[in-house]
Structure 1
Amino acid sequence: MIAVVMPVKDEEKRLKKTIETLLSVPSDIIIPVINGSSDNSCGIIRQVRSKRIQPLYFIEPLGIDVPRAIGAKAALDKGAAAVLFLDGDMSGDIAKNLTDLISTVYDNQADMALTNCYPGNHMARLSNLASDVLNARIRLNREIGLEEIIGAASPSHGPHAVSRRFLLSVPLREIAIPPVSLALASKYGLSVCVGTAIPHNKLGSPGKDSAHSDLIAETIIGDCIEALHVYKNTKRQRLSGSVEYLGYHSQRRWDLLDRFIAQP
């Protein structure tokens, strides 16, 4: 069984196109994890006439990346052999790329297939903020022995797919901090690779304001720092020198995630 997990929070402007894309790729179930949405996202999902759509509804926002862990638990319980993660606002024409990610895991038996969002010369066009994030990702990938294989790719950026073996090996809670799940995949000897390439501007995600971009950057940099501590079995922290990189980390609802994971 192939499952898709799609976090959804106020995505009504792009959600219909994203669902249409997902319905065109090979999968058995699509699990939208709707959390704290105040727009018509729920209504759009209810209008889709497909038995493959099996949504989960949360009144409260779950925080960044927590919906992925929620969806992973649901997919695992349903018997999924491979799980694709795609954010509800990624409305680009990427059906072929999504199929490649699924195939890399389901047919070629990789445990984690990532997207290269900076192929070719796209790295040369980065802002200073994006460069800081990319450097944090590269440092982590180098330290965990994966830089030569995946470059700067990260489960924090772009769609990716994982195997059932991955979900049974990496604690589901750690999927809520994507770089930690990547570090643990390497630590446990799982197969990690790049399954496709999609330039960032082709994902179809909306542009964000500078305040949001700063917080996202802080989140990912902090996640990479924490991931390296997990990999090295040292005390978990998000400090670089005297700077603590929190970003949106404090908004992750560990209580709701733990409660869901504990369900039989």
Structure 2
Amino acid sequence: MYIYNFLIIGFISKSLKTLGLFLLCWITLLCFFSFIATGSSAQDLQQTTISITKPEGKNVQINCHVSSPDFINTLIHWYQKKGNEAPKRVAYISSTFFLENRNDEGKFSVAKDLSKSVCILTVSKITPQDSATYYCAIWDAHSYYHKVFGSGTKLVVSGKLCVVCVFSPPANSEILQKKLENQTTYVCLIEKFYPEVIRVTWTDDEKEVTDNVVKGDAWQSAKGDDDYSIASWLTVPAENKDKKYYCKYEHEEQQASLSTQGMFHLLKMDFDLLL
């Protein structure tokens, strides 16, 4: 009986040790693959145009810059996403391009500009059904289980061409300021633009500022027009009141940068409702 118990205890001890080593190896592998999936990649995708607005019947080209040491052989995918629907692949290219659906022949085509490392998706004779956000994607350089996506370009098919973004109130009053005892809040107000897709960022003289930044949702004109407006807030500590910050926006092909310095003596309005 004693020998039997001894053997049982020995077996359990050995089994637990083996199980512990197995779990340790498994956890190590999980950590390794998590690092691969979330780590930085040698390949990078940039879709600098955030939206394109064209009337029905036109052809549209959507660009994706691919930083890859082997661009010519890199497999690049293009996805279409509509509203709350799941994205679906429409085409892909390595040395030649392929359609996901044969019914889309003549609608989508893909090419590579080798001199600029740019992949180009062409959507031909656009209709309202083509309105969507289009994303380029590649497999991560370290793992075939993880895809890297571009930021997306929204295609708006409309009879109304993009209106140049107009800031209101008039000149030198685009950034509003409110001082409190221990902090200052800047409000960057951008009005009357179409479509609603816009990218707003805050920077100082060196880099993008992301701490204590709030970006509101775009709202439509109360008159029922297609114009949109948006506001973004930046709050900084009182000791940074003399530091220069910039509100930058990108809309269609237009970019602008507004400074927080040198304009407040012209400001005579109360904007508490915006805060």
The structure with more helix, counted as a fraction of residues: 1
Please report the TM-score for the alignment, with normalisation by the length of structure 2. Answer: 0.26
Bigger-Rg structure (1/2): 2
Q: Which has the higher contact order (CA 8 A, sep 6+)?
A: 1
The structure with more strand, counted as a fraction of residues: 2
